[in-house]
Amino acid sequence: MRPHGEGGAVVGLLTEKHGRHAGYVHGAQSTKKRGLLEAGTLVAVDWKSRVSDQLGSMTLEQESGLPHGVLDDPLKLGALLSACSLCDAALPEREGHAGLFHGFKTMMEMMDGEIWMAAYIFWEISLLKELGFGLDLTKCAAGGDVTQLAYVSPKSGRAVSLHAAGPYKERLLELPAFLKPGGGAYESEEIYKGLRMTGHFLEHWVFAHHTKGVPEARLRFEARYEKSLSDTTKAASGL
């Protein structure tokens, strides 16, 4: 939401059939509508404009609010703001992405569960695919054993087996256990590997030619998760 005019704002939405779509909302800065316009709120929208390519105006009606506890959890709130900022910065306006929309809804619904962070990473992978940057994590790029996949090529986005990586493994990204063909644990260290992996491709593929680069909200989220992981490790070791 960007304040505009006297009390109004230009509001950006991720819609089911029309992708990222903006519109003007009257009275958006009022106390009554502030909660309605929280990032992550699911709304029904009535958009009107005299000409189809103009900004137009929006009337919103809330269908559901944020999952319980999101505003009180820095990591969950960071994930939500990160996902919203990625949509706002990366998606072309008014280009349909129904799968990404439903994936976003699923991710939000899973924030009440234990594996919500994995859901977030799966959503970023789907975002990369929607933008034409699909990862291939199902087989080894060098023809190695698919049961031993351990890395991802930072250039091609294809998985690499432990044996095929050989002396080049230091140049590769680590593949999280839960993204391997046979599945694996959703441990904190594996989640962080996933964040680093998708973060690399967001930076070098999606936002490589964007003036502002990866959105600040995404960078803050990864840094916050890294700090929480470090704090947990120190607490476990008694430091």
pLDDT score of 32: 87
Is the CATH number of domain 1-65 2.40.50.140? yes
Identify which of 161, 128, 155 has the alpha carbon closest to the alpha carbon of residue 142: 161
pLDDT score of 219: 98
Task: Give the CA diameter of the chain.
Answer: 65
pLDDT score of 238: 67
Spans of the chain, pLDDT less than 70: 237-239
pTM of the model: 0.94
pLDDT score of 144: 96
pLDDT score of 35: 83
pLDDT score of 45: 96
pLDDT score of 67: 87
Same fold, 1-65 and 69-239: no
Helix 98-109 vs helix 74-90: crossing angle, to nearest 10: 170
Angstrom distances, CA of residue 68 to CA of 38, 72, 73, 141, 212: 14, 9, 10, 42, 33
Topology of domain 69-239, CATH: de novo design (two linked rop proteins) (1.20.1440)
Instruction: Parse the chain into domains and list their residue ranges.
Output: 1-65, 69-239
